[in-house]
């Protein structure tokens, strides 16, 4: 202390007559107490002293001292008539404050530097020591039977000290001797403030109280056990300001929290617009404690209307993250809570909960297992909602010890037995787990019942106690017991696997189609299983064993799974064959045409082209088949593929007939064919090749057509075949040209009648009745001319 500061101790009493400091001249040197007092005042740690009225004894008055947010705070468990002017004068601190309470006096001394502060009781005063004050005896916390005890032999009264930065007052346990709780502790519903004297607790829960008894101080919740039982939680906290982006959710009964929310809403309405940010944060905290997360989210959004700058408020960010999580929006929730703000354990806890809600169990377990203390101190309704999710993530992530601690805390929760059964299953005790699950199938909680039925069925199947068919039937029966998104998707995927294992491939793949529609945000997981099951079906040959209709249904409904290239050609060919067998040739053509679209030249294109041409030929479209075969030719084809294509070409040429192979001209050309099929583009037929010999021998020579005069029977047949081919292709201009050139030159007989009928123009809608009847009669004559002559009856 400077000389100027020490000179202030000579300030005499104010009008009330109470001295904060007394000059040495007033002391009696013969009095032992006075000699001790003068010796203390000569100590370098002496700062000032507070005189006590004559009707009180300093040794019987409790005191405490601690530092909070840059202020040194002195608490005396007695109403001392200390004036503000005298305190500022004797301490030399212009910003000093005095707060008088009923039965207590609080001195706040804002000092720029943190130095040890001590209080020592003498016969008539308290000496305030600073700097090198002697260290007090430490208080060690004990955890017993749901209470935290702070044992000391010199307990005083407990004083509630209001804190401007907190919604709840500090609980200060004063002492009558040099003892202090100096450790930074954090536990269920409380935090400690390191003290130079006494015990200082910053409660997080509304229902926590600090009481004094003959053995010290006891921290308890409304006279009962603490909300989390009695775990010995005692860990060092980082040195960070309270509520720097944290949650600090209030505790209490539902009725008390509702009263609190009502009071906070009235305070918000009465506050000026720019002062409502803090009130909105308080309202959101209370709403979260009441499990009103969507409402809290709305309050935090609305507060930006009054003060847009509040978007950077760290408390708002933390509360927004938790409100999103508890409202079922975990994917982007933690983006509101910036990294580096708030208590590390608290942010890591909610990061783990977000990961658990999204199904990332390994990540969630790694975060949650080491940061469980804030969850233990959370309000009951929040824990009730979060604990099952946390416990299941810990089980699936392999952190069974941490999951067991959560289950032990959930004594009255209906999901406790489910968690214990899951722990049994993860601990490799499947038969015990099956027995536990079976007890829960009839639970009144649909979530518990649905999950238990699913787990029991899958465990029985894993042990071989039931067949895949029976397991699939059970899952289908319980599919809608509980429609939690993650649970239902797990069930649907498991059901598809069981049906595939049972050989019910259409049902398995159809179920995955339904899952794609119901869970559009989980397509990657569903698509992976679809591809896996489809590939397994093809590789195992199961497709060949399916009935025709079932096979067609499977491939047609999952055509996007057919692999590209050579691997998919057998599947496409098989599908087209089965469709044709069902007399669905049009659908078969579509399948082949879709597979050919965009396929490069080569063996696969040639095979598919031949299949499509063969199908078109079977539908009496030889010219279309010829076009398909030509467009899918390729170089370097295998002998087997080339032979098949040449054989098909010969069949197409035979059905088309010789008439269409020779161009119609009046010049009298040589005998020959106009279309010769090839092995592939750029390849010439090899002389002496058996396939070439079969093709060429199957195509008859085409006689020449004279330029003038009546046609003979051979030429007339050639012209008639050309007309028939043009009619099949619906080539009206070619039919009209043939009729104009050859109708008058046709020889009398059947060929002429048929040629006239085939080349006659179609009956137009505007044709008069007489003309239409004449055309119909001509067609009938052609039909009669082609009918076989009846054989004469044999004599009897």
Q: Which two tokens stand for residue 507?
A: 């049902």
Residues of the chain with pLDDT under 50: 1-33, 36, 223-225, 227-245, 341-343, 659-689, 691-702, 791-796
Check residue 335 and report its DSSP letter: G
Q: Is residue 116 part of a domain?
A: yes
Check residue 313 and report its DSSP letter: -
| Same domain assignment for residues 168 and 101 | no
| Same domain assignment for residues 719 and 686 | no
Q: Is residue 278 part of a domain?
A: yes
Alpha-carbon torsion (338, 341, 346, 348), positive or negative:
positive
CB atoms within 10 A of CB 36: 12
Range of the domain at 771: 713-786
| Same domain assignment for residues 728 and 657 | no
Residue where a domain stops, chosen among 400, 421, 441: 400
| Same domain assignment for residues 33 and 122 | yes
| Same domain assignment for residues 336 and 350 | no
List all residues 6 or more positions away from 486 whose beta carbon is below 8 Å from its beta carbon.
Answer: 359
Nearest to 634 by CA among 597, 599, 602: 602
| Same domain assignment for residues 156 and 174 | yes
Phi and psi dihedrals of 688, rounded to 5?
85, 0
Q: How far apart are CA 695 and CA 51, in angstroms?
A: 129
The separation between the first and the last C-alpha atoms of the chain, rounded to the nearest angstrom, is: 155
| Same domain assignment for residues 334 and 259 | yes
Q: Is residue 524 part of a domain?
A: no
Q: Are strands 179-180 and 137-138 parallel, antiparallel or unpaired?
A: parallel
Angle, alpha carbons 398-400-405 (nearest 5°): 145
Q: Transcribe 540-565 into DSSP letters.
A: TTHHHHS-HHHHHHHHHHTGGGSPSG
| Same domain assignment for residues 325 and 367 | no
Q: Is residue 233 part of a domain?
A: no
CB atoms within 10 A of CB 386: 21
Per the DSSP assignment, residues forming a β-bridge with 76 are 63, 105
Angle, alpha carbons 623-624-627 (nearest 5°): 90
What is the pTM (predicted TM-score) of this model? 0.47
Helix (H) or strand (E) holding 218: strand 216-221
Q: Are strands 208-213 and 216-221 parallel, antiparallel or unpaired?
A: antiparallel
pLDDT at 180: 92
Q: Is residue 430 part of a domain?
A: no
| Same domain assignment for residues 304 and 184 | no
Q: Which two tokens stand for residue 141?
A: 């916390």
- Look-up of token digits 């082209």: 609
Q: Is residue 110 part of a domain?
A: yes
| Same domain assignment for residues 255 and 279 | yes
Q: Is residue 525 part of a domain?
A: no
| Same domain assignment for residues 577 and 620 | yes
Burial class (CB in 10 A: 0-12, 13-18, 19+), 602: middle
Helix axes 314-326, 380-396, angle to 10 degrees: 70
Please provide the size of the chain in residues.
796
Q: Is residue 428 part of a domain?
A: no
Q: How far apart are CA 648 and CA 635, in angstroms?
A: 18
Instruction: Return the CA Rg of the chain.
Output: 49
| Same domain assignment for residues 107 and 161 | no
Q: How far apart are CA 63 and CA 71, in angstroms?
A: 16
Residue where a domain stops, chosen among 130, 151, 166: 130
Nearest to 142 by CA among 236, 233, 238, 237: 233
Please report how many Cα atoms fall inside a 13 Å half-sphere around the Cα of residue 106, on the Cβ side.
21
Q: Spell out a b/e string for 134-143, using b for 16 or more CB atoms within 10 Å of the CB, else e.
A: eebeebebeb
How many structural domains does the chain have? 6
């Amino acid at each position: 202390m400077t000389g100027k500061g020490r000179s202030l101790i000579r300030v005499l009493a104010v009008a009330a007559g109470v001295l904060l400091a007394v000059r040495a001249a007033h002391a009696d040197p013969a009095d032992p107490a006075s000699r001790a007092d003068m010796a203390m005042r000569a100590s370098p740690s002496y700062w000032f002293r507070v005189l006590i009225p004559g009707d009180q004894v300093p040794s019987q008055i409790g005191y405490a001292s601690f530092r909070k947010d840059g202020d040194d705070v002195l608490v005396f468990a007695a109403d001392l008539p200390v004036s503000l002017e005298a305190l500022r004068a004797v301490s030399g601190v212009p910003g000093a404050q005095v707060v008088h309470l009923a039965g207590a006096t609080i001195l706040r001394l804002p000092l720029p530097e943190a130095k040890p502060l001590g209080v020592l009781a003498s016969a008539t005063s308290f000496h305030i020591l600073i700097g090198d004050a002697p260290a007090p005896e430490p208080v060690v916390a004990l955890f017993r039977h749901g209470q935290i005890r702070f044992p000391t032999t010199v307990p005083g009264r407990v004083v509630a000290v209001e804190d401007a930065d907190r919604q709840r007052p500090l609980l200060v346990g004063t002492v009558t001797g040099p003892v202090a709780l100096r450790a930074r502790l954090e536990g269920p519903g409380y935090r400690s403030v390191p003290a130079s004297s006494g015990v200082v607790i910053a409660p997080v829960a509304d229902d926590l109280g600090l009481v004094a008894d003959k053995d010290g101080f006891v921290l308890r919740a409304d006279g009962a056990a603490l909300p989390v039982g009695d775990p010995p939680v005692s860990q060092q906290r980082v040195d960070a300001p309270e509520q720097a982006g944290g949650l600090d959710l209030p505790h209490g009964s539902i009725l008390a929290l509702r009263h609190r929310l009502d009071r906070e809403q009235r305070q918000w309405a009465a506050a000026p617009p720019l002062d409502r940010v803090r009130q909105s944060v308080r309202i959101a905290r209370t709403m979260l404690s009441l499990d009103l997360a969507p409402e809290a989210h709305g309050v935090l959004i609305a507060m930006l209307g009054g003060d847009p700058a509040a978007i950077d408020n760290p408390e708002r960010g933390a509360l927004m993250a938790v409100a999103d999580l508890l409202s079922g929006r975990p994917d982007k929730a933690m983006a509101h809570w910036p990294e580096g703000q708030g208590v590390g354990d608290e942010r890591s806890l909610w990061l783990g909960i977000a990961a658990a809600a999204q199904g990332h169990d390994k990540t969630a377990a790694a975060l949650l297992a080491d940061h469980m203390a804030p969850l233990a101190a959370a309000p009951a309704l929040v824990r009730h909602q979060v604990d099952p999710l946390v416990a299941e993530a810990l089980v699936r992530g392999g952190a069974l010890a941490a999951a067991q601690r959560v289950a032990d805390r959930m004594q009255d929760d209906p999901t406790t037995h489910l968690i214990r059964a899951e722990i049994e299953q993860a601990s490799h005790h499947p038969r015990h787990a099956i027995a536990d699950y079976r007890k829960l199938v009839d639970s009144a909680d649909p979530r518990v019942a649905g999950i238990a039925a699913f787990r029991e069925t899958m465990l029985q199947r894993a042990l071989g106690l039931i067949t895949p068919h029976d397991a699939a039937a059970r899952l289908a029966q319980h599919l809608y017991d509980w429609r939690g998104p993650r649970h239902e998707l797990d069930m649907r995927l498991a059901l598809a696997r069981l049906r595939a294992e049972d050989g019910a491939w259409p049902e398995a793949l159809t179920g995955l189609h339904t899952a794609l529609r119901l869970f559009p945000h989980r397509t990657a997981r569903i698509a992976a299983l679809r591809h896996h099951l489809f590939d397994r079906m093809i590789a195992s040959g199961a497709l060949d064993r399916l009935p025709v209709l079932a096979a067609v249904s499977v491939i047609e409904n999952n055509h996007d799974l057919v692999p590209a290239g050579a691997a998919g050609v057998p599947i496409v060919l098989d599908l087209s064959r089965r469709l044709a067998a069902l007399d669905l040739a049009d659908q078969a053509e579509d399948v082949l045409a879709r597979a050919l679209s965009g396929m490069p030249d080569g063996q696969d294109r040639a095979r598919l082209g031949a299949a499509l041409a063969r199908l078109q030929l079977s539908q009496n479209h030889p010219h279309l088949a010829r076009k398909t075969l030509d467009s899918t030719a390729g170089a370097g084809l295998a002998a087997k593929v080339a032979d098949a294509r040449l054989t098909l070409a010969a069949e197409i040429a035979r059905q088309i007939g010789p008439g269409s192979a020779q161009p119609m001209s009046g010049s009298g050309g040589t005998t020959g064919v106009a279309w010769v099929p090839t092995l592939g583009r750029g390849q010439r037929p090899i002389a002496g090749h058996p396939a070439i010999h079969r093709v060429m021998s199957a195509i008859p020579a085409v006689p020449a057509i004279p330029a003038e005069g009546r046609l003979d029977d051979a030429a007339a047949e050639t012209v008639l075949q050309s007309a028939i081919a043009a009619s099949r292709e619906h080539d009206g201009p070619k039919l009209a040209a043939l009729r104009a050139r050859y109708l008058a030159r046709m020889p009398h007989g059947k060929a002429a009648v048929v040629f006239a009928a085939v080349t006659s123009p179609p009956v137009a809608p505007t044709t008069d009745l007489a003309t239409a009847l004449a055309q119909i009669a001509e067609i009938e004559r052609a039909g009669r001319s082609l009918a076989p002559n009846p054989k004469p009856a044999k004599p009897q």
